Structure 1
Amino acid sequence: MTRICVFGAGAIGGLIGARLARADVADVALVARGAHLEAMQAKGLSVTQAGETFTVHPKVSADPRELGRQDYVILTLKAYALPGIVDALAPLIGPDTVLLFGQNGLPWWYFYKHGGRFDGHILESVDPGGLLWKTLGPERALGAVIWQAAELGAPGHIVHGFGDRLTIGEPSGEISDRARKLSALLERAGVKSPVRADLRNEIWLKLWGNLSFNPVSVLTGGTLEALARDPGTRAVLAAMMEEARAIGEALGVVFSVSVEERLDMAAKVGAHRSSMLQDVDAGRPTELDALLGAVIELAQMTGIATPALKLVYDLARFRVLAA
């Protein structure tokens, strides 16, 4: 049976792992910590979705050395945490282990087999010093765009909010056997998992909303719906998204919707407080550099002016550091 480890099995990672374990399509192990880990060790992992609750009992540990080599490792930690877990990953990785990266923002492997003028470029804002590139190796990476929302209702208990899609793709654009295999396992577990040849387009579609709404929510305290409805904040968001679109298009990205349509997509989520705002309020680190700092780095590389993005980044960075 295929061995799959979810590293960072909080709300999203735990949801994915629980669905795989419930479907019994893989030998599932979860890496977690703290009270959440203790609760899962004692009583299993429970998931509430669509008014129903199920409980599974996968292997759980804080120490990857207890789990052994895996076929796939699904990494659902925040982007800023990745450099800190490189050594801990080593016991899970064999010669053919595939690493699926499900972080928000621009991924560290973005320019691996990109094919453009920046092919092989390391993004300093998300991979300082190229640590991930040099130690994990971009050839192991599968990209992912996670369109699911969940939260920890209590340690050992995940509440699924909305969304059921996890798109995956190779950095090269190849529809590989390893991507197809993981997609099939996720589909059997009830997770919609298309394999895309143009995953970077979908990365930007999600990033487009995150790079604008998240930092502006940190500055204003507004929900997605409120920010999209207010004329003033909507204009700021639109200006940020227009600048980001110019950068993406300069790198070959095709945007499938307009700025106005993307703003309306976020408004339909409702009175949701962004994950970045929640992190700031809780005193946790944020994904500001992965979501916005990396885009500003791309702007410098491509020579595109980004006054709105830079202004919001500088203000949000001050707010984050002051929290």
Structure 2
Amino acid sequence: MNTQDPMRICIAGAGAIGGTLAVRLAAAGHQVSVLARGKTLQTISERGLTLHDQHGVTHARPAASERPDFGVQDVIFVCAKSQDMAALLPQLKPLIGEQTVVIPTNNGVPWWYFHREGGRFDGAQVCAVDPQRVLEQAVPLTQLIGSVLFITAEVSEPGVIRSVNPHLIVLGEPSGEMSERLQRIRAAIEGAGIEARATDRIRDKLWTKIIANLSTNPLSVITQGTLEQLYGKPELREVVMQIMRETLLVASSYGARVDIDPLTFMQLGEAMGPFRTSMLQDLDRGRPLELAAIGDAVLEMAERFNVPMPISRAVISLARFRGEAAQLAQSSGAAPATVQAAA
């Protein structure tokens, strides 16, 4: 297969990110299928997906099912929350052949972080995200490629996704190898109108996203603040800065090279405007919060090097309390709040 051949691509999870990938890749001529359920599945089956982004308005009608009956795939993008991975990944087995590449797109520290990491913890377990090694056993680690997505999108109504910012995906082999399969997939994504970069240091980019997520998502749950407020209001910006500093120390302890200028980072974040983080949206809907991968895993990694994270730990604890209260309210029949744009 060369870089111009259409690929069989499955999108497991058809939210804002999965939907964006499905539309762009289908429009580029790839054979795209979507694993979905409930109302999302019904909408895709009846009307397809429509994406409003910087390319204009694009419509696609990918194959959709709640069962993994699409046959063996070339690539599977797993677009699910970290806490949903243990239930989803084992279902993908019928789609995975010897050459299938699986690309998880979730936030936070991935369960495969230490696979072929090459350092003193090579092969170690990230207990916070895979305590029973379910994820590790569900997909052969040799068939994983890491990804870091910088895509802001929202589902404005069933089957309709909107994104006002440029799309960027960074891909990398856990081993750091610049493999042929990595380059082939990068070219396919680039050909679909999404900026795609291949790197031999995927963990550096992971930490950049982890720092952004940890410094804003749990805090947004406590304060109900938008990105504009979190990065712009002095009293919130100071908390964001402290969490960033703590997380940067953890990243550097693991040899990551994170190129972040805090002032520029703050300015760019504030310029994102009144967007609500994905964790704040989950709170509003009474859904479980993605705290294990975004928060607990970083605290676990900090403990290996005795890096104190008092501010991060406190904010994560408060966010967990708010999340559990919201889930309890949801289960008791309280109506979820209206949700604005995703970030």
Work out whether residues 111 and 118 of structure 1, in 8 Å CA contact, stay in contact via their aligned partners in 2.
yes
Structure 2 counterpart of 1:32, from 13, 32, 36? 36
Task: Indicate the residue corresponding to 1:163 in structure 2.
Answer: 166
Unmatched tracts of structure 2, length 5 or more:
1-5, 327-343
Task: Indicate the residue corresponding to 2:336 in structure 1.
Answer: none
Structure 2 counterpart of 1:42, from 40, 46, 53? 46
Quick one: which amino acid aligns to residue 284 of structure 2?
Answer: D
1:51 CA displacement: 8.2
Structure 2 counterpart of 1:3, from 2, 5, 8? 8
Task: Indicate the residue corresponding to 1:61 in structure 2.
Answer: 65
Aligned CA distance change for structure 1 residues 261 and 52 (closer, same or farther; 3 Å): closer
Identity over aligned residues, as a percent? 37
Quick one: which amino acid aligns to residue 319 of structure 1?
Answer: R
Quick one: which amino acid aligns to residue 58 of structure 2?
Answer: F
Q: Distance in 1 between matches of 2:137 and 2:49?
A: 35
Work out whether residues 147 and 164 of structure 1, in 8 Å CA contact, stay in contact via their aligned partners in 2.
yes
Q: Distance in 1 between matches of 2:100 and 2:65?
A: 19
Work out whether residues 218 and 316 of structure 1, in 8 Å CA contact, stay in contact via their aligned partners in 2.
yes
More off after superposition, 131-140 vs 249-258: 131-140
Quick one: which amino acid aligns to residue 239 of structure 2?
Answer: V
More off after superposition, 229-238 vs 246-255: 229-238
The structure with more strand, counted as a fraction of residues? 1
Structure 2 counterpart of 1:91, from 87, 91, 94? 94
SS at match of 2:97: strand
SS at match of 2:64: strand
SS at match of 1:308: helix
Q: Does 1:22 align with 2:6?
A: no
1:194 CA displacement: 0.8
Q: Does 1:52 align with 2:56?
A: yes
Moved over 4 A (4+): none
More off after superposition, 167-176 vs 39-48: 39-48
Q: Does 1:289 align with 2:292?
A: yes
Work out whether residues 209 and 266 of structure 1, in 8 Å CA contact, stay in contact via their aligned partners in 2.
no
Q: Does 1:120 align with 2:123?
A: yes
Work out whether residues 122 and 133 of structure 1, in 8 Å CA contact, stay in contact via their aligned partners in 2.
no
Q: Does 1:300 align with 2:303?
A: yes
More off after superposition, 193-202 vs 126-135: 126-135
Quick one: which amino acid aligns to residue 55 of structure 1?
Answer: H
Q: Distance in 1 between matches of 2:238 and 2:73?
A: 47
Quick one: which amino acid aligns to residue 66 of structure 2?
Answer: A
Q: Distance in 2 between matches of 1:209 and 1:229?
A: 15
SS at match of 1:115: coil
Quick one: which amino acid aligns to residue 207 of structure 1?
Answer: I
Work out whether residues 209 and 263 of structure 1, in 8 Å CA contact, stay in contact via their aligned partners in 2.
no
Unmatched tracts of structure 1, length 5 or more:
none
Q: What do the CA deviations read for 1:14-65 (whole angstroms, capped 9, x no partner)?
A: 11111111110x211111111121111112221122483221112111111x
CA RMSD of aligned residues (A): 1.3
Task: Indicate the residue corresponding to 2:147 in structure 1.
Answer: 144
Q: Does 1:233 align with 2:236?
A: yes
SS at match of 2:99: strand
Corresponding pairs, count: 321
Q: Distance in 1 between matches of 2:261 and 2:161?
A: 34
Q: Distance in 2 between matches of 1:20 and 1:170?
A: 21
Q: Distance in 1 between matches of 2:304 and 2:270?
A: 32
1:275 CA displacement: 0.8
Q: Distance in 2 between matches of 1:176 and 1:306?
A: 37
Q: Distance in 2 between matches of 1:150 and 1:79?
A: 18
Q: Distance in 2 between matches of 1:128 and 1:137?
A: 17
Q: Distance in 2 between matches of 1:304 and 1:248?
A: 10
Q: Distance in 1 between matches of 2:8 and 2:298?
A: 35
